[in-house]
């Protein structure tokens, strides 16, 4: 039986700006429809139209029928009776979707009371019950927490609890896990799946992530420029896409298991010069508390003693979940000054010993590309002035600046006509190319990349990654690449370092770390990445991590991964003692081999070679 039937839905913002054009689909009860598409394809406008939440001035035509009732054209008051009762929505950003000044328990209870007329006490009890059902430990206590006191994953669970409070017939989830780390994303998707099964609701899942949709949806609708270009059962869409647009979308999704075509290094690694060397790097932030006399309440160990090296012509990726210290590491290197502890050497120069003029000169060799291409370009400057800035700063003669700017634009695949644009007149991919061009202006030898493709659409991601690969080969660069997306890392990196709470858990070549992960955390991270293939995604065995990253101000004693470690949970008390009492040092797994994989684990998944 169809819960939702949408026919010829059209949404216009201005007379000739169509956000959605003639979209028709149905969703049956207990069925999950995945809507995928790039940003600007009309996914969110569609969801808002279903909920009747479009901004004023938007014109909607067509029909949206929920069970037997038409939703379009109803007054806001009538819709309010339906919203939260017959249909409800889960938003991407739970922090802004929850009221900051009321406890989460109250907010869920409110939803229950408004629609069912339950007493306050009954509604409270129901709220606690719901929080328990979405897997929040200590639900009664958590119900009294304010949204900001909960982690991102917990907040998203609260949103799901609120959405299913009145057992709606239809759940609309707009990018529900986009803001979450992969391990938490896997947990939240499981909760959503369980909620769907428990309530028998129809689910519309909107996502840009082909992997998430592959694992969750029964049917898929692909949107492009406001139109539904293709829809059908999930296997059919993924295995035998009909339209070229769907095929292109699927092709551009980076997958683990496909290695990069170009393994840049021909010369053996140990013979190539070291560009960047980091040893025992530490960055601690003091935490102060108290209103008047601020006393030191603890230390956040953002980076807690890490070491690695990057050699010419190679890419080392630092991966890990948010807050693991990967970006802090990058910033410490970029400062080019004495770290709190440890040693950083760039091209053989110890940064602690640099004088101001020398440091300035060294900046030519170390450049950075940031995550958000728009945020990293001054909105008030034209592309030409943005690219000229590094040249002028390092005293390139003015007569040569213009020519060099054009050269740089060409190098990153842009035309001279882009020079006159402002950043906001560029697409995301173009803006990121400008960011890369600026970083290359001074012909650096080491490029630090902070999630350079995370903010881009998948089809654009592929182009930028290819560009970065090409540039590395042509210019003989070395990359230090920070990312949370393991599939992207697999595509671009030669070596990878997995970070957790300020430490490197495992480091080695990509083929080794991805092929035979030794650290339980690496294994779990790889398992959590959704795979863009509906059959494989549902069948493969995996280890899900429990809980979330502990408070970085008080990591567990001994091994800091202990509190979430699936391996530790299976150890005997005797073996477990080691994890509880000693921080595991990073140890090479196969000493003597060519390989240089090391892991910081007392009980690695791959046994060290006998006799060593």
Partner 1 sequence: MTRSRRAVAGLVLLALVFALVFAGPVVSPWSWDGTDFAAFRAGPSAEHWLGTTESGRDVFAVTLRGARTSLLIGLAVAVISTGIAAAVGTVAGYAGGRLDRTLMWGVDLLIVLPPFLVVVLLAPRLDGGAPLLVPLLAAFMWMITARMVRALSASLRDREYVLAARFLGVGAPRVIVRHVLPQLASLLVVDASLNVSVAIVAESGLSYLGLGVRPPDVSLGTLIADGHGAAAASPWPFGFAAGLLVLIVLAVSLLGDGLRDVLDPTSGGAR
Footprint on this chain of partner 1 (rule: CB under 8 A): 334, 360, 363-364, 366-368, 370-372, 375-380, 389-390, 393-394, 422, 424-425, 435, 438, 442
| Smallest gap from residue 433 Cβ to partner 1 (A) | 15
Nearer to partner 1, 370 or 521 (CB): 370
Tokens for 548, please give them: 């979330």
Number of helices (H), then strands (E), belonging to the chain: the values are: 23, 22
What is the distance between the alpha carbons of residues 553 and 302, in angstroms, rounded to a whole number?
9
| Smallest gap from residue 353 Cβ to partner 1 (A) | 18
Nearer to partner 1, 7 or 393 (CB): 393
| Smallest gap from residue 385 Cβ to partner 1 (A) | 9
| Smallest gap from residue 186 Cβ to partner 1 (A) | 30
Residue 37, SS3? coil
Nearer to partner 1, 195 or 366 (CB): 366
| Cα three-residue angle 274-279-285, rounded to 5 degrees | 130
DSSP 137: S
Nearer to partner 1, 91 or 370 (CB): 370
| Smallest gap from residue 188 Cβ to partner 1 (A) | 29
Nearer to partner 1, 331 or 571 (CB): 331
DSSP code per residue over 215-242:
HH-SEEEEEETTEEEEEEEHHHHHHS--
Radius of gyration of the chain (CA): 26
3-state secondary structure 457-524: CHHHHHHHHHHHHHHHHHHCCEEEEEECCHHHHHHHCCEEEEEECCEEEEEEEHHHHHHCCCCHHHHH
Nearer to partner 1, 390 or 428 (CB): 390
Distance of CA 412 to the CA centre of its chain: 25
| Smallest gap from residue 360 Cβ to partner 1 (A) | 5
What is the distance between the alpha carbons of residues 497 and 281, in angstroms, rounded to a whole number?
14
Nearer to partner 1, 203 or 434 (CB): 434
Beta bridge partners of 20: 11
| Smallest gap from residue 376 Cβ to partner 1 (A) | 4
Q: Which of 500, 504, 502 is nearest to 548 (CA)?
A: 500
Q: Tokens 């060397």, residue?
A: 277
What is the distance between the alpha carbons of residues 112 and 108, in angstroms, rounded to a whole number?
7
Nearer to partner 1, 407 or 583 (CB): 407
| Smallest gap from residue 297 Cβ to partner 1 (A) | 21
| Cα three-residue angle 572-578-579, rounded to 5 degrees | 85
Cα→Cα distances 363→63, 328, 349, 355, 432, Å: 59, 18, 12, 12, 20
Q: Residues 429, 468: contact at Cβ < 8 Å?
A: no
Q: What burial letters (b/e) apply to 81-92, b meaning 16+ CB within 10 Å?
A: ebbbbbbbbbbb
Q: Tokens 């037997």, residue?
A: 68
Nearer to partner 1, 391 or 492 (CB): 391
Nearer to partner 1, 193 or 382 (CB): 382
What is the distance between the alpha carbons of residues 202 and 320, in angstroms, rounded to a whole number?
34
Q: Are strands 295-311 and 274-289 parallel, antiparallel or unpaired?
A: antiparallel
Nearer to partner 1, 254 or 435 (CB): 435
Nearer to partner 1, 483 or 496 (CB): 483
Tokens for 91, please give them: 């938003």
* Sign of the CA dihedral with 595 first, then 596, 602, and 604 last: negative
DSSP 555: P
Nearer to partner 1, 351 or 367 (CB): 367
| Smallest gap from residue 271 Cβ to partner 1 (A) | 30
DSSP 254: -
| Smallest gap from residue 471 Cβ to partner 1 (A) | 18
DSSP 294: -
What is the distance between the alpha carbons of residues 67 and 233, in angstroms, rounded to a whole number?
22
């Amino acid at each position: 039986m169809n819960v939702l039937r949408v026919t010829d839905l059209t949404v216009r913002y201005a007379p000739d700006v169509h956000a959605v054009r003639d979209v028709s689909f149905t969703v049956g009860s207990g069925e999950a429809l995945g809507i995928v598409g790039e940003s600007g394809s009309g996914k969110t406008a569609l969801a808002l139209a279903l909920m009747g939440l479009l901004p004023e001035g938007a014109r909607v035509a067509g029909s949206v029928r929920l069970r037997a009732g038409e939703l379009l054209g109803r007054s806001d008051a009538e819709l309010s009776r339906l919203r939260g009762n017959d249909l409800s929505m889960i938003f991407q950003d739970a922090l802004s979707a929850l009221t900051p000044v009321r406890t989460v328990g109250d907010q869920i209870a409110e939803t229950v009371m408004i629609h069912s007329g339950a007493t306050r006490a009954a509604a409270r009890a129901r709220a606690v019950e719901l929080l328990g059902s979405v897997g929040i430990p200590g639900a009664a206590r958590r119900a009294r927490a304010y949204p900001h006191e909960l982690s991102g994953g917990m907040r998203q669970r609260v949103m799901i609890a609120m959405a299913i409070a009145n057992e709606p017939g239809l759940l609309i989830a707009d990018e529900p896990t986009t803001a979450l780390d992969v391990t938490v994303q896997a947990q939240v998707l499981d909760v959503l799946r369980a909620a769907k099964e428990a309530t028998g609701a129809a689910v519309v899942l909107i996502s840009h992530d082909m992997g998430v949709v592959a694992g969750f949806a029964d049917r898929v609708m692909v949107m492009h420029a406001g139109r539904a270009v293709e829809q059908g059962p999930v296997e059919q869409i993924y295995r035998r896409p009909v339209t070229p647009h769907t095929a292109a979308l699927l092709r551009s999704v980076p997958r683990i298991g496909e290695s990069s075509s170009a393994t840049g290094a021909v010369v053996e690694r140990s013979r190539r010069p070291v560009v960047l060397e980091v040893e025992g790097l530490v960055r601690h932030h003091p935490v102060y508390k108290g209103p008047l006399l601020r006393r030191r309440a603890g230390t956040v160990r953002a980076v807690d003693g890490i070491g690695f090296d990057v050699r010419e012509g190679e890419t080392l990726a630092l991966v890990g979940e948010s807050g693991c210290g990967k970006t802090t590491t990058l910033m410490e290197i970029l400062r080019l000054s004495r770290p709190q502890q440890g040693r950083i050497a760039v091209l053989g120069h110890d940064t602690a010993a640099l004088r101001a003029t020398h440091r300035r000169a060294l900046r030519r060799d170390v450049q950075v590309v940031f995550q958000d291409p728009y945020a990293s370009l001054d909105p008030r400057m034209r592309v030409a002035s943005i690219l000229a800035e590094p040249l002028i700063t390092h005293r390139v003669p003015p007569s040569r600046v213009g020519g060099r700017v054009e050269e740089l634009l060409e190098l990153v695949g842009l035309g001279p006509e882009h020079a006159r644009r402002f950043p906001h007149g560029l697409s995301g991919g173009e803006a990121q190319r400008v960011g890369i061009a600026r970083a290359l202006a001074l012909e650096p030898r080491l490029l630090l990349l902070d999630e350079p493709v995370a903010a881009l659409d998948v089809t654009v991601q592929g182009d930028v990654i290819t560009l970065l690969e090409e540039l590395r080969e042509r210019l003989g660069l070395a990359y230090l690449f920070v990312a949370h997306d393991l599939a992207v890392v697999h595509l671009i990196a030669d070596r990878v370092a997995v970070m957790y709470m300020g430490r490197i858990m495992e480091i080695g070549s990509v083929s080794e770390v991805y092929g035979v992960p030794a650290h339980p955390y690496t294994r779990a991270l790889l398992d959590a990445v959704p795979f863009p293939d509906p059959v494989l995604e549902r069948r493969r065995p995996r280890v899900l991590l429990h809980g979330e990253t502990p408070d970085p101000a008080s990591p567990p004693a001994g091994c800091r991964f202990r509190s979430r470690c699936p391996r530790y949970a299976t150890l005997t008390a005797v073996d477990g003692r080691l994890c509880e009492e000693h921080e595991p040092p990073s140890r090479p797994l196969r000493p003597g081999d060519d390989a240089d994989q090391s892991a910081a684990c007392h009980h690695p998944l791959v046994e060290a070679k006998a006799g060593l």
